[in-house]
A and B are shown apart, each in its own frame.
Chain A
Amino acid sequence: MSFMDLVKALLNKNPDSKEVAKERLRFVLVHDRTSISPEFLDKVKEEIIEVISRYMEIDKEATEVNFHKGEKTAMLEANLAVKEIKREVKS
């Protein structure tokens, strides 16, 4: 914070519009950069099922893959309904 910023903060003046712009821009970019299209998510889901299916029988209908984003973090959540674990890999 520069001296002028400090003075402004002390005087409780409105922040410069430039600071407002930067703040808003940062916010929309976080959102934009972590946005995922439904097609992309479908592809991820399909490939997850494909890999897991080598080891377990998966109920595709009951499987859900979701993407959540917070302010600073993003989380991929996959709920796979397992019907049966394949015998040959159990040992």
Chain B
Amino acid sequence: MGEVIVITSGKGGVGKTTTAANIGTGLSMAGNKVILIDADIGLRNLDVVMGLENRIVYDLVNVVEKGCRLQQALIKDKRNENLFLLPAAQTRDKAAVDQDQMKELCSELKKEFDYIIIDCPAGIEQGFKNAVAGADCGIVVTTPEVSAVRDADRVIGILEASGLSNHRLIINRIRADMVKKGDMMDVEDIIEILAVKLLGIIPDDEKIIVSTNRGEPIIANDTISGRAFKNICRRISGEEVPLLDLHEKDNIFAKLRKFIRSG
């Protein structure tokens, strides 16, 4: 029986879709059969982040309205055999799918996949409620800013009220240099204020932008943010993995310095 994980945040632009793409890719690289569902109807983007935008024929709404078979709508990933995408409809609105339909779809997919990763729309309205309806657990993404953490707190409250208590937090776009200077909230502060379990931290990394430009999730590359996502995937699979040291920079000079120091 598979596990349905919804990726959510409240605030937009904190990296939900990138997180969904990387977690889905990472879990499939580890040998799991994974499906990514883009639940952001009307504003689909997961296809672009995955580099699969040219392959869309049918979408989520076609599937729930029984306009096509599920198998027809699933897009196979370019790189991973056991990773699939169910794209959102672009010309419909959030009301095109309801909570019962999402529940039914999720329980159907659980039979076939190890992980069902749902990319949730921003906000806490209908689209959010639909995306969350069939989920077993939630991953809340935030950044170290007052506005994003505040929205994460709202979302955590709503998840708890709807009976999803096993959610965990990802803090994205951390800048170790700013934390060190005292100009960015650190991980411990945010965890303490939100009173939530931490799933992982991701550094602010230009390479994520580069890989998104190419439509290739960063997790396939050996960069610091790629490693951060790999650690997150291992934790999702139940492994205990220590937090990434963000002060380690992945450029050649830092590696050299480290080598000299350790040598």
A interface with B by C-beta (< 8 Å):
16-19, 21-22, 24-26, 28-29, 32-33
**11 sample A-B contacts, Cβ–Cβ < 8 Å, listed by A number:** A16-B181, A16-B182, A18-B182, A18-B184, A18-B185, A21-B145, A22-B193, A25-B150, A25-B185, A29-B150, A33-B157
Given the interface pairs A22-B193, A33-B157, the reply to whether A28 lies near B183 with Cβ below 8 Å is no
- Check if B182 sits within 8 Å of A17, measured CB to CB: yes
Quick one: closest B residue to A16, CB to CB? B182
* B184 proximity list for chain A (CB < 8 A): 18
Q: Of A16, A22, A26, which contacts B183 at CB under 8 A? A: A16
CB contacts under 8 Å to A, within B156-185, are 157, 179, 181-185
* A21 proximity list for chain B (CB < 8 A): 145-146, 185
Q: How far is the CB of B193 from chain A (nearest CB, A)?
A: 6
The DSSP consensus for interface residues of chain A is: helix
Task: Give Cα A28 to B153, complex, Å.
Answer: 10
> Is residue B205 contacting chain A, with contact meaning CB distance below 8 A?
no
- Check if B183 sits within 8 Å of A25, measured CB to CB: no
Task: Give Cα A28 to B146, complex, Å.
Answer: 9
CB contacts under 8 Å to A, within B182-198, are 182-186, 189, 193
- Check if A25 sits within 8 Å of B149, measured CB to CB: yes
Q: How far is the CB of A44 from chain B (nearest CB, A)?
A: 16
* B150 proximity list for chain A (CB < 8 A): 25, 28-29, 32
Quick one: closest A residue to B157, CB to CB? A33
> Is residue B154 contacting chain A, with contact meaning CB distance below 8 A?
yes
- Check if A33 sits within 8 Å of B146, measured CB to CB: no
Q: Of B145, B181, B182, B193, which contacts A29 at CB under 8 A? A: B193
- Check if A22 sits within 8 Å of B153, measured CB to CB: no
Q: How far is the CB of B72 from chain A (nearest CB, A)?
A: 43
- Check if A24 sits within 8 Å of B182, measured CB to CB: no
What is the 8 Å Cβ interface bit string for chain B, positions 188-224, against chain A (1 contact, 0 not)? 0100010000000000000000000000000000000
